[in-house]
């Protein structure tokens, strides 16, 4: 992986990088004392791919040039840069940034053949996310999304822990859902305590999603249940019922009711062995 010194003034940041820069004074102090241990990443056109905080810190320190790795995005998109090499040479946060940088180009080509466009071979059909994940060296699109979550929402300490392999990508993504101060506290916990906290975060989110689904079911299907039950128990004389329905658009009502009956019949047919039991809703 070749590193070159590039004038800071030549590097274009763009608008896709994180705005929350975290503790820049501490980072600048570390770079002043230790030097820049990890170079930033740019593409062939001097567009910044990763290392925004390091770039800003070095500029604040008065640096005129900064060590950069030049990532040839066309080679990544074309698959000329092997996925296993991406995993070896770049950290998870860097690979997430590379994947994000190539997504727009992949989105234009995903799912359709491309002939001799900028010398790119046709890509396999698939979701842009999954194609970007593969090219950036991630095993799955889900892992790629988790890494992006950590980069976008994680404290600097959490991102560093993920990059160094101290915290797995999936666990780091769960931790990144917490406030920044809590993230730092969790990163500094002993391993056993850290695993338990991540387990509780997963459980809490799963319980919340289950509660939201249940609340939706209560609102939607209890209303439907009560409406159908009211119709079933209706005992008006046909003439009175007709007059009443006419006033509220009888034919429109009948059309909706016919479709509802067809749908309910299909539900019953698909679940013939379900026991008839009252459902208590609290």
Looking at the structure, tell me whether residues 45 and 166 fall in a common domain: yes
Domain encompassing residue 270: 235-282
Give pLDDT, residue 117.
Answer: 42
Give pLDDT, residue 110.
Answer: 52
Looking at the structure, tell me whether residues 179 and 165 fall in a common domain: no
Q: Which of 172, 187, 208 is the last residue of a domain?
A: 172
Give pLDDT, residue 100.
Answer: 93
Tell me how far apart the alpha carbons of residues 175 and 182 are, in angstroms, rounded to a whole number: 8
Looking at the structure, tell me whether residues 166 and 208 fall in a common domain: no
Give pLDDT, residue 114.
Answer: 43
Tell me how far apart the alpha carbons of residues 232 and 120 are, in angstroms, rounded to a whole number: 64
Indicate the number of domains in the chain: 3
Tell me how far apart the alpha carbons of residues 13 and 9 are, in angstroms, rounded to a whole number: 10
Looking at the structure, tell me whether residues 64 and 149 fall in a common domain: yes
Looking at the structure, tell me whether residues 102 and 17 fall in a common domain: yes
Tell me how far apart the alpha carbons of residues 164 and 5 are, in angstroms, rounded to a whole number: 24
Residue 126 main-chain phi, psi, to 5 deg: 155, 175
Q: Which of 155, 172, 189 is the last residue of a domain?
A: 172
Looking at the structure, tell me whether residues 19 and 103 fall in a common domain: yes
Give pLDDT, residue 116.
Answer: 42
CA nearest neighbour of 28 among 10, 53, 8, 6: 53
* The model scores a pTM over 0.85: no
Q: What is the DSSP string of 161-199?
A: HHHTTSS-HHHHHHHTTS-HHHHHHHHTS-HHHHHHHHH
Looking at the structure, tell me whether residues 120 and 156 fall in a common domain: yes
pLDDT along the chain (282 residues), means of 10: 91 76 85 92 94 93 95 89 86 95 81 47 66 92 95 93 96 95 96 94 81 82 77 73 70 78 82 61 44
Take residue 34 and report the two structure tokens written for it: 């230790």
Looking at the structure, tell me whether residues 109 and 205 fall in a common domain: no
Looking at the structure, tell me whether residues 180 and 258 fall in a common domain: no
Looking at the structure, tell me whether residues 116 and 240 fall in a common domain: no
Looking at the structure, tell me whether residues 23 and 160 fall in a common domain: yes
């Amino acid at each position: 992986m070749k590193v070159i010194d590039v004038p800071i003034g030549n590097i274009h940041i763009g608008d896709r990088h994180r705005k929350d820069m975290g503790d820049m004074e501490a980072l600048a102090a570390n770079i002043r004392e230790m030097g820049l241990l990890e170079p930033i990443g740019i593409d062939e056109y001097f567009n910044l791919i990763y290392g925004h905080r390091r770039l800003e810190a070095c500029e604040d320190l008065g640096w005129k040039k900064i060590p950069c790795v030049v990532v040839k995005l066309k080679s990544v998109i074309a698959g000329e840069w092997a996925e296993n090499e991406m995993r070896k040479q770049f950290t998870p946060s860097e690979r997430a940034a590379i994947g994000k940088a190539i997504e727009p180009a992949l989105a234009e080509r995903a799912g359709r053949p491309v002939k001799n466009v900028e010398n790119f071979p046709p890509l396999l059909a698939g979701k842009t996310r999954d194609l970007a994940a593969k090219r950036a060296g991630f095993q799955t699109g889900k892992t790629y999304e988790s890494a992006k979550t950590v980069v976008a929402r994680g404290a600097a300490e959490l991102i560093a822990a993920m990059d160094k392999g101290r915290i797995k990508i999936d666990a780091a993504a769960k931790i990144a859902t917490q406030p920044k101060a809590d993230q730092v506290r969790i990163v500094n916990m002993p391993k056993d305590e850290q695993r338990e906290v991540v387990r509780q975060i997963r459980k809490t989110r799963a319980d919340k999603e289950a509660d939201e689904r249940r609340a939706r079911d209560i609102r939607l299907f209890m209303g439907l249940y009560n409406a159908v039950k009211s119709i079933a128990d209706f005992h008006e004389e046909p003439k009175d019922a007709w007059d009443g329905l006419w006033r509220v658009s009888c034919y429109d009502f009948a059309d909706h009711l016919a479709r509802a009956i067809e749908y309910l019949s299909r539900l019953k047919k698909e679940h013939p062995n379900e026991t008839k039991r009252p459902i208590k809703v609290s």
